[in-house]
Structure 1
Amino acid sequence: MFALVDAVSFYASAEKVFDPAIRSKPVVVLTNNDGCICAICPIARKFNIPKFQPYFKVKDYLAKHNVVIRSSNYELYADLSEKMMNVIGRYCDNQYVYSIDESFLQFTGFKHLIDDWHEYGHQIRSAVWRETKLPVGVGFGTTPTLAKAANHAAKKLSGYNGVAIIDTESSRKEILAKMTVTDVWGIGRRLGRKLQLMNINTALDLSNCNARDMGRLFSVLVERTISELNGIQCLSWDEIKQAKKEIFSTRSFGKRIEDRDSLVSALTAHSTIVAKKLRQQNSLTKRIVIFAASSPHEAHYYKKSFLYDFPVATADTCVLAHAVSTVLPTLFKPGIRFYRCGVGAIDLETAQFKQSDMFNTSQDKPELMVCFDKINHRFGQGTLQLASEKSTEQWQMKRHFLSPHFTSCWQDIPKIRC
């Protein structure tokens, strides 16, 4: 048996943990630079607020209904996520943290200890709420995909009250019949439109298709998804948590920038993030894309990107930063008010099977990078930086509605007066 435990509107719920005054109020959370709405709490959903709508378009509507606005507080979310995952991990013998608010569980050695899966799901929910004040949904299924479907039912379908189980043919058909095909894990909008043209509208319709035929028509992923929807396990832990094939770091600026130094600082910061993520998943990159652009809403829209190929695959921060400085004269244009920039590693390979080049020596300094990462992990990200990475207020994110860092900043630790 598998389970998926997923927080309800995690960002919005996290904002309510240390602020009881807004627990009964509608809350929405904005993306970087307070751009769009990325999280809507269940109370705010009653006002039919569209997700990912630009904030400026619905600002007056939100004010009319007294909706509480919060900027993304990533430091708080990361800390609460870790606490939540630690609680959940006590209830299984095999856990895989799938995202900041989702965790897959497997109960290989716990089966004889669990008599009632429904009751066990409520125990997990109660423990998470008691220790973190975060509401979660729990879905059980005989495959990871069915566990994901059960979690969807637990959170979004009426009658399940936070816990759903797919362990019989009747429960499988009942839940899948109530899910649209795009609600299925791994079926996106584009693929969903193609399936709907074939009169495949629900998850149950998809499960009734011939897996092998659909695999030939679309992909092996669709074939596996159909098999999993029918209770045939095809996904292993390793396949669920496979390394990313591309790694990007992009961000729009808090204020428009027009000078060369600020642009190189921003791009270097992005290259540092990309390099760190490459090392975390033990990957190297042979090619990166570096881009910068003005706002598409301004006259004379400008966007330029450049592909940079490395002679030897790398994950070294200094090597990526050097690539940025090399490309900058191609990207920078005087008079342009830059709004956004980014760096992406798009041709990855595993460091475990690195192929050396007889004619090109690697410029990487792995011992230096190990030291670099250890110091930043111990004393906080940004303790060590490249000289060209120094941030300025110009390109830092706008977070006008930021809540305190209740768990990661001494000045913001909640004070209790008795």
Structure 2
Amino acid sequence: MYALCDVNSMYASCEKVFDPAIRNKPVVVLTNNDGCICAACGIAKRMGIGKKFVPYFQVRDELAAAGAIIRSSNYELYADLSQRMMDTCARFAPHFHIYSIDECFLFYGSNYVPEGGWEAHALQIRRTVWKEVRLPIGVGVGPTPTLAKAANHASKRIEGYRGVAVIDNEQTRQHILTNMDVTDVWGIGRRLGQRLNDSGIRTAWQLSKAKPSLIRKEFSILVENTVHELNGTPKLNWDDVRAPKQQIFSTRSFGQRVTDKSELRQALISHVTIATSKLRRQKSLVKTLQVFASNSPHDTDAFYRQSMLHEFPAPTSDTGIIAHAVSMLVDSIFRKGVRFYKCGVGLIELVDAHHYQQDLFNTSHDKTDLMRCMDAINSRYGRNTVHVATQGTTQKFAMRREFLSPQYTTRLTDIPKIKCN
């Protein structure tokens, strides 16, 4: 059996953990630079406000009239609470897989049945996460990952299930799948769902009754596997270790427009720091670097976007070497008079550091020990505690977060204080 644990409205729920004053109020969370809505709590959704990806400025007055609490994305807080939730859930199963920041799968043996039954077990997981982390989660249990996903959907969306759903018999499976649109099935997106609708398949139950061979011929082997999974036959294999990424990008829009070359250079090198940290974490080297910057296509000025490639003589993971390459490319990217809105770097040709055969004539100049030391310090004391000097110390281009809540669990000055009279 499989269990899927999923946090309800993750970002909005995290905002309420350490702020009791807003727990019974509508909370809306914004994306980078406070641009669009990316999350809304259940109260806000029931009020009909907080629709995802709507620009904030368009609904500012509507949110204010509804008394909504606005928050900027507090990634540090969300990541920490996510890890706490994952650690709590992992105690309930012999095998565990993190699927996203707010979802994880628990794997059990085929013959395992918890004491008290699956529903009591799922309810215990939900109550423990609420008690220890204060995050509301839904728990779905099923004989395949896809059915566990379907059960999780039922725990939140289908009447009669209050945070917990278990598919362990044919009657429950049919009831849940009949009440699910085909686009609610894991892996069935809007476009694929439309094609299935055109074929007369509108519910998850109808998809489960389709002939697998015909589905494979008409669509793909992935959809065929979904049909098998909906019928209780596991087809998804989980790797113990995720495959390394083939490309790593770091990009973000500015908090305010950048018109100075040195500020653009600092912004690009700050992205180098982020990307190379991820590169070393997965034990890879980069052969080719991409650097790009642009203004906004919505500006009154003509749209400008420039991108440059740089190939290293020897693959590297050294932040200093990559930052030096960026500094050389800035002159080719910067254009006077352009109000830059966005920039980024891409590590686009990666190789495994363990198995790469070094070149006799193009030797590596990586300062491996220095990079290891820098990563260790930043891991312990926070990102950018130590960084290359060309990144600068004051960043006018930093992301705008006007409604940012305190980082209650990751910054000493923000730790909640309790005063007893």
Common topology (TM > 0.5): yes
State the alpha-carbon separation in 2 of the partners of residues 198 and 360 from structure 1: 58
Change over 3 Å in CA distance of 1:279–1:226 after alignment to 2: farther
What is the SS of the residue equivalent to 1:353?
coil
State the alpha-carbon separation in 2 of the partners of residues 393 and 77 from structure 1: 23
Residue matched to 1:24: 24
What is the SS of the residue equivalent to 1:199?
coil
Residue matched to 1:389: 391
Residue matched to 2:323: 321
> Which shifted more, 257-266 or 354-363?
354-363
Residue matched to 1:283: 284
Change over 3 Å in CA distance of 1:154–1:336 after alignment to 2: same
Name stretches of at least 5 consecutive residues in structure 2 with no aligned partner.
Answer: none
Matched, 1:47 2:47: yes
> Which shifted more, 408-417 or 394-403?
408-417
Residue matched to 1:75: 76
Residue matched to 1:273: 274
Matched, 1:4 2:39: no
Letter paired with 1:175: I
Superposed CA RMSD: 2.3
Q: Report if the CA contact (8 A) 1:30-1:37 is conserved.
A: yes
- Matched residue count: 418
Q: Cα distance, 1:163 vs. partner? A: 0.6
State the alpha-carbon separation in 1 of the partners of residues 142 and 39 from structure 2: 27
Letter paired with 1:261: S
Change over 3 Å in CA distance of 1:242–1:174 after alignment to 2: farther
Aligned mate of 2:332, from 315, 321, 330: 330
Letter paired with 1:20: P
Residue matched to 1:148: 149
Residue matched to 2:411: 409
Q: Cα distance, 1:311 vs. partner? A: 4.5
Matched, 1:34 2:68: no
Q: Report if the CA contact (8 A) 1:272-1:320 is conserved.
A: no
State the alpha-carbon separation in 2 of the partners of residues 193 and 278 from structure 1: 38
* 1:150-182 alpha-carbon deviations (Å, 9 max, x no partner): 112112222110011122233223222222233
Residue matched to 1:159: 160
Listed as ranges, the matches of 1:2-401 within 5 Å are 2-49=2-49, 50-108=51-109, 111-238=112-239, 241-299=242-300, 300-357=302-359, 359-401=361-403
Q: List, as ranges, runs of 4+ consecutive aligned residues in structure 1 with deviation greater than 6 Å.
A: none
Q: Cα distance, 1:39 vs. partner? A: 0.8
Name stretches of at least 5 consecutive residues in structure 1 with no aligned partner.
Answer: none
Q: Cα distance, 1:198 vs. partner? A: 3.0
Q: Cα distance, 1:358 vs. partner? A: 5.1
> Which shifted more, 190-199 or 369-378?
190-199
What is the SS of the residue equivalent to 2:344?
strand
| TM-score (normalizing by structure 2) | 0.92
State the alpha-carbon separation in 2 of the partners of residues 353 and 183 from structure 1: 42
State the alpha-carbon separation in 2 of the partners of residues 262 and 396 from structure 1: 11
> Which shifted more, 266-275 or 312-321?
312-321
Change over 3 Å in CA distance of 1:180–1:246 after alignment to 2: farther
Q: Report if the CA contact (8 A) 1:84-1:132 is conserved.
A: yes
* 1:97-128 alpha-carbon deviations (Å, 9 max, x no partner): 22221111112399254331111111111111
Letter paired with 1:143: T
State the alpha-carbon separation in 1 of the partners of residues 212 and 328 from structure 2: 49
| TM-score (normalizing by structure 1) | 0.93
Letter paired with 1:205: Q
* 1:351-405 alpha-carbon deviations (Å, 9 max, x no partner): 3433444553334333332222111112221111011112534211111111112
Letter paired with 1:83: R
State the alpha-carbon separation in 1 of the partners of residues 135 and 39 from structure 2: 14
Q: Report if the CA contact (8 A) 2:114-2:121 is conserved.
A: no
Q: Cα distance, 1:212 vs. partner? A: 4.4
State the alpha-carbon separation in 2 of the partners of residues 88 and 39 from structure 1: 23
Q: Report if the CA contact (8 A) 1:289-1:343 is conserved.
A: yes
State the alpha-carbon separation in 2 of the partners of residues 219 and 330 from structure 1: 44
Q: Report if the CA contact (8 A) 1:266-1:391 is conserved.
A: no
> Which shifted more, 300-309 or 143-152?
300-309
Change over 3 Å in CA distance of 1:380–1:111 after alignment to 2: same
Letter paired with 1:22: I
Change over 3 Å in CA distance of 1:25–1:108 after alignment to 2: same
Q: Report if the CA contact (8 A) 2:292-2:343 is conserved.
A: yes
Letter paired with 1:385: H
Percent of residue pairs bearing the same amino acid type: 53
Letter paired with 1:258: T
